Structure 1
Amino acid sequence: MHEYTSGARVWGLSCPGFPEEVSRARRWTRDILRGSPLAEDAELIVSELSANAILHTASGRQAGNFHLALAVSPQAIALSVTDDGGTGTAPKIEHRDQHAEHGRGLSMVSALAHRVVVHKSRSGHTVTVELVTDARPGGHPC
């Protein structure tokens, strides 16, 4: 973080709901968090949440989109993925058998994150994940 910036910095990205956009979301996250000890975890989480939006919601249909937000402070990273809805149920953490082909993604995200929150958005759902660093105020930023 720049020496003249004391608060959190926030970025946003909107992506069409094509599968190749998941790699774009990963690159975007990696570029913003370059040098952060939390970059790899954040990249993995963005990949999982973006893929879920495309596979399980209207974001993956024709003209669908998903939206990312990334907030970075010296102590934490918060990232959110908002989908276009189209499902009757909210994303939820399921504890599945290790050999299950589906349904383990949010469990993995939860294992990496300090906190995972799912809430209803205007058109769908937003999954927000918080990653916390050991840095103290004035310490090495994310």
Structure 2
Amino acid sequence: MPETTALATVFVPKQRESGAVQRELIDAMVDLHPGGLTWRRTFPGTLDQIPHVRHFTCYLLADSPCQDDAEQIVAELAANALQHTSSGRPHGTFIVEITRTTTTITIAVYDCGWGSIPRFGERCCSDAERGRGLAMVAAIADQVGYEGNDELGHRVWAKIHNP
């Protein structure tokens, strides 16, 4: 077993000893790609994946001042996909997509369909146990929306401005 451990350390990249990557370098990299950078990842359709979704988002947006907002938004959209569509059924999946430009971050969650459509504009009671998530997403984000249908699935998205 010690041989396996020794081999594993060879493949682990060294961590950066200095601070975060400079904002100017990130913006320059994003500008090289028309439409910004887009990352997608498919997750199994279980609630235990929500922390992984948050970590994925945190990692990609580590240098952004919008990181906390994006993390909250993606967790809420993923939880809704699991609770309200067939993504949360056995063998279901959902996809998280993060698109970053120099001025915006768009967080989208794709579900497997056969569920309700999001209702961002509905008011809810402050003491309600359910139904506050999309209202919170709408309050945090600069724009929200969805497209799709029950048969093919939905893309639910939120856009925040990256100052």
TM-score higher than 0.5: yes
Question: Could you tell me which residue of structure 1 aligns to residue 155 of structure 2?
Answer: 126
**Per-residue CA distance 1:34-80 (angstroms, 9 max, x = gap):** 02000000000000011111111100100100111101111000110
Q: Once the 2 structures are TM-superposed, how far is the Cα of residue 125 of structure 1 from its aligned partner?
A: 1.3
After superposing the two structures, state which structure 1 stretch, 23-32 or 1-10, moved more.
Answer: 1-10
- Name the residue aligned to 1:20: 48
TM-score where L is the length of structure 2: 0.77
- The structure 1 segments of at least 4 consecutive aligned residues displaced by more than 6 Å after TM superposition are none
Number of paired residues? 133
What residue in structure 1 maps to residue 129 of structure 2? Answer: 101
Structure with more helix by fraction: 2
Name the SS for the 1:98 alignment partner: coil
- Work out the CA distance in 2 between the residues paired with 1:32 and 1:77: 11
1:3 to 20, 23, 28: 28
1:119 and 1:45, CA in 2 relative to 1: closer, same or farther beyond 3 A? same
Q: Calculate the TM-score normalised by the size of structure 1.
A: 0.88
Could you say which structure has the larger radius of gyration?
A: 2
* Alignment root-mean-square deviation, CA: 1.4
Q: State, as a whole percentage, how many aligned pairs show the same letter.
A: 34
1:92 aligns with 2:149: no
How far apart, in 2, do the equivalents of 1:60 and 1:86 lie? 11
**Which of 52, 61, 67 does residue 39 from structure 1 map onto?**
67
Whole-angstrom distance in 2 between the partners of 1:4 and 1:84? 33
Specify the SS of the correspondent of 1:116.
strand
Amino acid at match of 2:85: T
Greater RCO, 1 or 2 (C-alpha within 8 Å, sep 6+): 1
Distance change in 2, residues 1:4/1:55 (3 Å): closer
Closer, same or farther in 2 for the Cα pair 1:67/1:4, shift >3 Å? Answer: closer
Matched residue, 1:110: 138
